């Protein structure tokens, strides 16, 4: 069940798009499909800037389909509902993350793991099956989506600071659940204190875990502990600090956006420890085998999360008041924001104020 196959793309939409591998974004007119019977249309209020937006617009992965309108941390209000939609009504606050379609019948879809469906449709930068129509993301004014791929926002969460939960939040929450790294008293390492990393610290603390941030940035130590609630901080470039923490961690969530050595991280794990990589580096990395064998250690990966789990994550965040630490920006600041994100100059997520600053 592709949610847009064969449907007319006649709704006028406006956003900002990257036109080539420079990644520079500029105003862009396009169309979205008309609201179908199972769809909702939303007016976008805020959209977070994920490092994946930067990877894709600058073609780090080699599959940029220009023009690219990025954005998969999208929040807004419902402006139209199809006749089969009971879950949402006009005026509801909703969110859309990284996925907007799947087959609904394969093994993974049956288990609410749509992201692992062979026919998963991601929010931007792919061509729809059959139609040739492209998907455009949330750096834009409106969004049309099948009801299954929208989540309801808890009333207490501010829409701007909660927007990053739709990708950053679920991408760290899902592996913590799946790999059993959500148990009170366990010791979790979080590598890379960026958009994903800082919410991983918050979820882990809400689960009652001991958390150590492993970072390349000494300037983040004070904030990691005092502002985000981490228990300790390791500077990954300091071999003495890293040696002092060998065999102390039950698990590690690695959110680093660039190639980096795995061996020092595997050494931090206790026997039976798990290193879960969610950071999307385009390069192949070396894995040291003996430390894995001798400690029966596991290296795994994880992509975003399914829709049921995304709703569960956002409800959990609502209950525990977990949101991202954000810098709200205007649409015309986006290229500067992308440059700053590329050099790690953000504490800890940019969010675009779409409703007030995206003007035609
Ligand atoms: P981000 O805000 O830029 O954070 C990444 C952090 O990694 C940086 O803050 C920095 O932390 C560290 N880092 C950057 N370059 C490094 C290097 N060369 N060596 C070591 N550490 C480095 O990015 P994000 O939005 O959190 O995304 C992180 C990664 O996850 C990206 O690759 C993104 O595409 C990917 N991602 C994957 C999924 C998934 O489904 N698996 C979903 C969303 C995003 P320190 O300053 O603390 O070292
Ligand atoms: Zn993302
Ligand atoms: Zn499927």
Q: Is 257 in the pocket of ligand 1 (CB under 6 A)?
A: yes
Cα separations (Å) of 197 from 119, 183, 221, 230, 267?
29, 18, 13, 11, 20
Domains of the chain: 11-167+325-357 (3.90.180.10), 168-301 (3.40.50.720)
Instruction: Please choose from 61, 167, 170, 196 the residue to mutate so as to test ligand 1's pocket, defined by most ligand atoms within 8 A of CB.
Output: 196
What does DSSP assign to residue 68?
A: B
How do the pLDDT tens digits run along the chain, 360 residues long?
Answer: 334 445 678 899 999 999 999 999 999 999 999 999 999 999 999 999 999 999 999 999 888 889 999 999 999 999 999 999 999 999 999 999 999 999 999 999 999 999 999 999 999 987 755 666 789 999 999 999 999 999 999 999 999 999 999 999 999 999 999 999 999 999 999 999 999 999 999 999 999 999 999 999 999 999 999 999 999 999 999 999 999 999 999 999 999 999 999 999 999 999 999 999 999 988 888 999 999 999 999 999 999 999 999 999 999 999 999 999 999 999 999 999 999 999 999 999 999 999 999 998
DSSP alpha helices (H): ranges in 19-105?
51-57
Please give the structure tokens belonging to residue 211: 């958390």
Residue 260 is encoded by which pair of tokens? 């980096």
73-88 burial code (b ≥16 CB/10 A, e <16): bbbbbbebbbeebeeb
Give the tokens for residue 5: 């196959």
Q: How far apart are CA 101 and CA 131, in angstroms?
A: 14
104-300-114 Cα angle (round to 5): 10
- Ligand nearest, relative to CA of residue 114: 3
């Amino acid at each position: 069940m592709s949610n847009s196959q064969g449907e007319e793309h006649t709704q006028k939409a406006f956003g900002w798009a990257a036109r080539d591998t420079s990644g520079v974004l500029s105003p862009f007119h396009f169309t979205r499909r008309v609201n179908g019977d199972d769809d909702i249309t939303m007016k976008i209020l805020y959209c977070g800037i994920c490092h994946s937006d930067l990877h894709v617009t600058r073609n780090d992965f080699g599959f940029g389909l220009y023009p690219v309108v990025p954005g998969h941390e999208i929040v807004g209000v419902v402006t139209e509902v199809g006749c089969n939609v009971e879950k949402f009504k006009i005026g509801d606050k909703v969110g859309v993350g990284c996925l907007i379609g799947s087959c609904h019948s394969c093994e993974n879809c049956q288990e609410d793991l749509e992201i692992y469906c062979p026919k998963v449709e991601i929010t931007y930068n792919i061509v729809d099956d059959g139609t040739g129509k492209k998907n455009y993301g949330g750096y834009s004014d409106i969004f049309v989506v099948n009801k299954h791929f929208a989540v309801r926002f808890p009333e207490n969460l501010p829409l701007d600071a909660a927007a990053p939960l739709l990708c950053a939040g679920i991408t760290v929450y899902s592996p913590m659940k799946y790999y059993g790294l959500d148990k009170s008293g366990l010791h979790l390492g979080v590598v890379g204190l960026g958009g994903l990393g800082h919410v991983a610290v918050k979820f882990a603390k809400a689960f009652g875990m001991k958390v150590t941030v492993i970072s390349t940035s000494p300037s983040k130590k004070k904030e990691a502990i005092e502002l985000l609630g981490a228990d300790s901080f390791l500077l990954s470039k300091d071999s003495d600090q890293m040696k002092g923490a060998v065999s102390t961690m039950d698990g590690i969530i690695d959110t680093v956006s660039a190639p980096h050595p795995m061996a020092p991280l595997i050494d931090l794990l206790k026997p039976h420890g798990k290193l879960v990589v969610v950071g999307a580096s385009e390069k192949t990395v070396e894995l040291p085998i003996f430390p894995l064998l001798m400690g029966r250690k596991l290296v795994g990966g994880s992509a975003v999360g399914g829709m049921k789990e995304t709703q569960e994550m956002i409800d959990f965040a609502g209950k525990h008041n977990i949101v991202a630490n954000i810098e709200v920006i205007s649409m015309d600041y986006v290229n500067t924001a992308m440059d700053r994100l590329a050099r790690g100059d953000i504490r800890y997520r940019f969010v675009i104020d779409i409703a007030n600053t995206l003007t035609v």
